[in-house]
Chains A and B, each alone.
Chain A
Amino acid sequence: MSYDPVLYSRMLTELTLGFHIIFATIGVGVPVMVALAEWTGIKRNDPYYLLLARRWTRGFVITVAVGVVTGTAIGLQLSLLWPSFMRIAGQAIALPLFLETFAFFFEAIFLGIYLYTWDRFKKKWTHFLLLIPVVLGSSASAFFITTVNAFMNTPQGFKLQDGVITDLQPIAAMFNPATPTKVAHVLVSAYMTCAFILAAIAAASLLKNRVQLYHRKALKLTMTAALVFSVTTILVGDLSGKFLAKYQPEKLAAAEWHFETAGKAPLVIGGILTADNEIKYGLKIPFALSILAHANPNAEVQGLNETPIDERPPLLVHYIFDLMVTIGILLPLLSLLYFWMARKYQNRHYPRWIVRLIVWSGPLAVLGIESGWVYAEVGRQPWILRGYMKTAEGATTSTHVDLMLVLFCLLYLVIGLTVIKVLGKIFRGNDLQEELLAKGIEGGKAK
């Protein structure tokens, strides 16, 4: 492969973001789950939930650290790898970037306090209140940074003439058409993912026949949250589809291999594309694309042929879109199934197969997040600023991007492996049974 700074810059950005997103999602969603657990614990005066909040937080700190460092990395890399783009972005969307650091600052301060004040206040509620700024801060930083990404998809609030920006309106740039659906989708899917991750941990512990009551409570709490958030994610996802049909029809058309503009458009699942753009072996759901795009089975959906060939996204995004949607539909079904089972097996062990499925739901949700982002990002190729700047024009001209790519691969590999090792040790090292005993919660006999 000959040296191409654009290609390597893209690969390095994908690598860093792909790694960061896992920890960023956890950073946004887990504080919400911790808050739910602590709130339930105080409200019902149930020490199990308080312990749950505590143990989740213990692992959360590790992921926050990695989230912070990879977030710093992507923040700097934007300028290092995409200097020409950031020159424009710096003028148009510096405001949300700047506000994001404030939100992050706010979260960092209160997380520090929260971690070290578990037993310091007389009232339990005081400690709980400290979590509110953490939740607000993490969700607000997701909000601000997502508006930046939304701006790249539907830029507005400025005029660009010969590389010079005029007539800038910072607020309009921030609240662009993509902002509402993108932000909502990012937030609820992050909450959903964390609910499933924590459910998966509880399920894995149940499989090992550890302290049943504690983990059953954890499972109930997380699966309830998971159901609510995953259904919301689907609803917002539907709105996102309608947004795309209106503002970025080529992205939706590429996802669905929809070439000819036509009404009663079917949704295609799977399949392969022949050389002359015929779809084979795909599962066609009639009218579904028209419904997704315009909430009307007969509505006309713009096809990819309307877009000049050199402005079309790669057609591979179809599979990635399918993956995201499939996971997004399977997960809420799984949580419904869990509730049905939980009613049926109230005081008995749950069947192992359902618990096993829940163990898989965590990684699946993360995969869903990753594929959703890949679809969103690759789907707007070849643009870095849709309609204004192609990706190739934004990249650095520096040599050595390839070397940096190798270095960062190694870095993430090492950090990733250590995270797995450390998290495993944290949960195994602090034996739950002993902790329950130490806190006088139960006599320590597993049911």
Chain B
Amino acid sequence: MSYELIGITVLWIFLYGYLIVASIDFGAGFFSYYSHATGKRHLIQNMIDRYLNPVWEVTNVFLVFFFVGIIGFFPDTAYYYGTALLVPGSIAIILLAIRGSYYAFGTYGEKQNRIYTFLYGASGLLIPASLSTVLTISEGGFVIEKEGKVVFLFRELFTSPYSWAVVLLALVSVLYISAMFLTYYAAKAQDHGALNVVRSYALGWSPPTILCSLLVFFAIRNHNPQHYQAMLDLSWMFVVSFLCFLAAFYLVWKRTGYGWAFIFVMLQFAFAFFGYGASHLPYILYPYITLYQNFTSEAMALSLIIAFIAGLCLLIPSLALIMRLFLFNTSYVQGHAPKKKG
């Protein structure tokens, strides 16, 4: 495998990781607020808190990792995306900042503060929309280079059916992934009240997810026919993705194998996401940045890959530890372990 391919694969895996953990996180925040507003807070709040408390900071790192990594491997992305994304990027930063800090204020500071819960829940729903702009503009047509300057075409972005389809998909899949995970977590905690609530969310958000995926598929055909063709060549991946969706839906419907259902959800998104990514290549920003012409120097690529492997040796055991202590520790999940904090 060439350095270029290793680089983009690493980054894509991290973006996928972010997609999953951030969706759970964003969705949980929204459901937390929603349950607050609809008077079901007492049913699901404890469960959500037990999951989110120890991991919220880790979620953020996936994102930082991705954007630092892509600048390292493909420095030209900083130039094009950086110039183009000033406004959507800044909005995403502001939303992330509001969300992260008000989560902490609400959790460790003043519990049950209505405004904090609202800021935290609402911002989480807007972040996926603003972050998905990056994927949208990577398809080309929204950034042009004129007289040596990068110009971002706002109007095109706002009036493009493709960009709205992506925003819609981002929103819906966040709620879907999150509800699916919370269903699994509630089942593990043997918290039947919470399970009923989140299971209905999971089933409810399933059909819209598939509808929106189809919408994006067709929107790409009009927007970037070349990419659409490449996606058709990899169509088996999208078919497998759909089958995984059906399996997940079936399991939750039948009220069995919630763990497997969530694994199928992860596979569903893995196939779709990697299928989308692979068919996007060799372009990183169509048509300005490609995998091969804009890659970093060999010395830097090598040192980044070494650093990455060394980093993983440190991270994987640590992640395993946190999972053993919290996510997969039955007594913690069920709330029997001493629930103490600082």
Contacts and interface: CB of A to CB of B under 8 A. Distances in A.
Contact of B340 (A76, A116, A403): A116
A407 B71 CA distance: 26
B100 A69 contact: yes
B108 A72 contact: no
A397 interface: yes
Interface in B6-36: none
B69 interface: yes
Interface in B74-91: 74-83, 85-87, 89-90
Contacts of B319: 109
B57 A94 contact: no
| Interface of B, helix, strand, loop or mixed by DSSP | helix
A75 B108 CA distance: 26
B57 A112 contact: yes
A68 B72 contact: no
Contacts, number: 243
A65 B296 contact: no
B340 A118 contact: yes
A95 interface: yes
B9 to A, nearest CB: 16
Nearest to A94: B72
A23 to B, nearest CB: 10
Contacts of B53: 112, 115-116
Interface in A65-97: 65-66, 68-73, 75-77, 79-84, 86-92, 94-95, 97
A398 B300 contact: no
Given A73-B93, A73-B97, A109-B319, A422 B72 contact: no
B267 interface: no
Contact of B341 (A62, A65, A115): A115
A305 interface: no
B5 interface: no
Nearest to A12: B90
A113 B67 contact: no
Interface stretch (B163-171, B280-288, B308-316): B308-316
A111 B149 CA distance: 44
B342 A118 contact: yes
22 contacts: A61-B104, A61-B108, A65-B105, A69-B97, A72-B60, A75-B64, A75-B67, A92-B300, A94-B300, A95-B303, A95-B307, A97-B72, A105-B311, A109-B315, A109-B322, A111-B57, A112-B322, A113-B54, A166-B297, A168-B297, A397-B149, A398-B86
Closest 10 CB pairs of A and B: A94-B72, A90-B75, A65-B104, A83-B82, A422-B109, A86-B78, A79-B82, A112-B54, A102-B311, A69-B100
